[in-house]
Amino acid sequence: MNFDLTERQTHWRDRVRDFIEANIRPNMQTYIDQDNEGERWKVIPIIEEMKVKAKSQGIWNLFMPPQGQLSHVDDSFEFEGPGLTNVEYALCAEEMGRIGWSSEVFNCSAPDTGNMEVFHRYGTREQKDQWLTPLMNGEIRSAFLMTEPRVASSDATNIETRIERDGDEYVINGRKWWSSGLGDPRCKVAITMGKTNFEAKRHQQQSQVIVPMDAPGVNILRHLPVFGYDDAPHGHMEVELKDVRVPATNLLLGEGRGFEIAQGRLGPGRIHHCMRTIGVAEEALAKMCRRLQEREAFGKPIYKHSVWEERVARARIDIEMTRLLCLKAADMMDKVGNKMAKQEIAMIKVQAPNMALKIIDDAIQAHGGGGVSNDYGLASAYAHQRTLRLADGPDEVHARSIARIEFSKHTDLPNHAGVSSGDMAATR
């Protein structure tokens, strides 16, 4: 047990942090202005500009795990990132979380990260050439079509989308929502979860298939706001898949292996989200501390009112603890693998957004009316974090999973809860 960061651990974090402070933070207003100008669903120039810079400095595709951590590795060494461990990347993710759009600058934003990892682990050479290469180059973007509006997707066995074999093709019919990233004009491909066999065992009915966004029958019905935010140009969409036909070779890994793919995907993604969430919470706490020192009420600076001392202390305690838990989970993933880290991953999945929501809410309160507006970025941070209590499995499903493992330590109960693939894909 050693809480010092190694030189390697600080190396990437500091590069990311420095890049953000030098390049991204000074352009925050530019981003807001470009986002608000004209068309909602477009490419935002400052991001493209920053991407070039980040890529040229090699701060790019950092999320891609070391070759050794990929269970289904092959010889395609060209599809590698710089090989950060989960701990190393987690520290970078926290920095990226401080400013919402910085993940994309480093080509590290969801759901591309998860999709790239899936292509890397399970894709054929052809699939990699077609999709993984442009994704890793930051030329296209992608989506993950999982959650459905008509069933409780917290229990992923409820999924109703049909993927039916018809000769050399699969025919896909279903309705998805919270398909994040589909608003982006560069989004070219979606990995889609559905059932190939409704009669198989509960966790062997599902398969994942690659669907090009321009396939006939892929109809974007509407965008879904989060609270009042459209999250453009990324966006969260409701999509109809109507007799969509793809070549049979678009199936990933094999029929009935959709769950297996989903589970491999979700572990790292959760760590990434959680560490970004910690960055969000740190920013909110910093804003709160500054604001409370700037203003006076009832004869003294507000920060001297002890109710705020209690809230700030609580915030600092909760951030520190959550970060440590998150890094521990990442460390376990690095050392003993995602399966053994299952309880820890579930724990931070529950803990991180709940922690952040409380701190952001207090920060809103500290800012008065300004807090609920867009002036301080707090209301939008709240809205986004609120989705993370639902995305990739709601709190309740993870609590169930944690508890079952805990109970199993004191008995011979089976130690797994129902598998959950999430009620909403968590992507931004």
- Within 25-84, the residues that bind a copy of itself by CB under 8 A are none
Among residues 104, 382, 392, 427, which is the contact residue for a copy of itself, using CB under 8 A? Answer: 382
Q: By C-beta, is 1 or 56 nearer to a copy of itself?
A: 1
Give the separation between CA 41 and CA 318, rounded to whole angstroms: 37
H-run or E-run covering 48: helix 45-56
Q: In whole angstroms, how close is the CB of 315 to a copy of itself at the nearest point?
A: 8
Q: Which residue has the tokens 């986004």?
A: 384
Site for a copy of itself, residues 107 to 146, rule: CB under 8 A: none
Site for a copy of itself, residues 207 to 246, rule: CB under 8 A: 224-230
Binding flag, residue 205, a copy of itself (CB under 8 A)? no
Site for a copy of itself, residues 307 to 336, rule: CB under 8 A: 307-310, 312-317, 320-322, 324-325, 327-328, 331-332, 335
Among residues 247, 254, 337, 368, which is the contact residue for a copy of itself, using CB under 8 A? Answer: 368
| Number of residues near a copy of itself (by CB under 8 A) | 105
Q: By C-beta, is 277 or 343 nearer to a copy of itself?
A: 343
The two structure tokens encoding residue 75: 């010889």
Please tell me whether residue 251 adopts helix, strand or coil conformation: strand
Site for a copy of itself, residues 256 to 275, rule: CB under 8 A: none
Helices 258-294 and 378-387: crossing angle, nearest 10°? 160
Among residues 34, 289, 358, 415, which is the contact residue for a copy of itself, using CB under 8 A? Answer: 289
Identity of the amino acid at 2:
N
Give the separation between CA 283 and CA 291, rounded to whole angstroms: 12
Q: In whole angstroms, how close is the CB of 317 to a copy of itself at the nearest point?
A: 5
Q: In whole angstroms, how close is the CB of 351 to a copy of itself at the nearest point?
A: 5
Q: In whole angstroms, how close is the CB of 153 to a copy of itself at the nearest point?
A: 7
Phi, psi (rounded to 5 degrees) for 174 = 170, 180
Site for a copy of itself, residues 139 to 198, rule: CB under 8 A: 147, 149, 151-155, 158, 177-178
| Cβ atoms 417, 400 nearer than 8 A | yes
Q: By C-beta, is 78 or 375 nearer to a copy of itself?
A: 375
Phi, psi (rounded to 5 degrees) for 315 = -60, -45
In 3D space, the residue among 132, 11, 130, 116 whose CA is nearest the CA of residue 70 turns out to be: 116
Q: In whole angstroms, how close is the CB of 98 to a copy of itself at the nearest point?
A: 15
Among residues 95, 117, 283, 344, which is the contact residue for a copy of itself, using CB under 8 A? Answer: 344
Q: In whole angstroms, how close is the CB of 339 to a copy of itself at the nearest point?
A: 17
Tell me which stretch binds a copy of itself (CB under 8 A): 5-13, 29-37, 58-66, 102-110: 5-13
In 3D space, the residue among 419, 362, 425, 420 whose CA is nearest the CA of residue 236 turns out to be: 425
Identity of the amino acid at 348:
I
Phi, psi (rounded to 5 degrees) for 382 = -60, -50
| Cβ atoms 270, 325 nearer than 8 A | no
Q: By C-beta, is 167 or 369 nearer to a copy of itself?
A: 369
In 3D space, the residue among 177, 100, 335 whose CA is nearest the CA of residue 108 turns out to be: 100
The two structure tokens encoding residue 243: 């007799």
Q: In whole angstroms, how close is the CB of 350 to a copy of itself at the nearest point?
A: 6
Among residues 135, 424, 427, 428, which is the contact residue for a copy of itself, using CB under 8 A? Answer: 424
Q: In whole angstroms, how close is the CB of 67 to a copy of itself at the nearest point?
A: 21
Among residues 292, 333, 359, 360, which is the contact residue for a copy of itself, using CB under 8 A? Answer: 292
Binding flag, residue 358, a copy of itself (CB under 8 A)? no
Name the DSSP class of 50. H
Among residues 24, 285, 356, 360, which is the contact residue for a copy of itself, using CB under 8 A? Answer: 285
Site for a copy of itself, residues 384 to 403, rule: CB under 8 A: 386-387, 389-391, 394-403
Give the separation between CA 307 and CA 304, rounded to whole angstroms: 9
Give the separation between CA 180 and CA 233, rounded to whole angstroms: 10
- Exposed, middle or buried: residue 86 (CB in 10 Å: 0-12, 13-18, 19+)? buried
Tell me which stretch binds a copy of itself (CB under 8 A): 114-122, 210-218, 256-264, 288-296: 288-296
Tell me which stretch binds a copy of itself (CB under 8 A): 48-56, 122-130, 163-171, 292-300: 292-300
Give the separation between CA 256 and CA 203, rounded to whole angstroms: 8
> DSSP letter string over 359-395?
HHHHHHHHHTHHHHSSSSSHHHHHHHHHHTTTBTS-H
Maximum alpha-carbon separation in the chain: 79
Q: By C-beta, is 54 or 319 nearer to a copy of itself?
A: 319
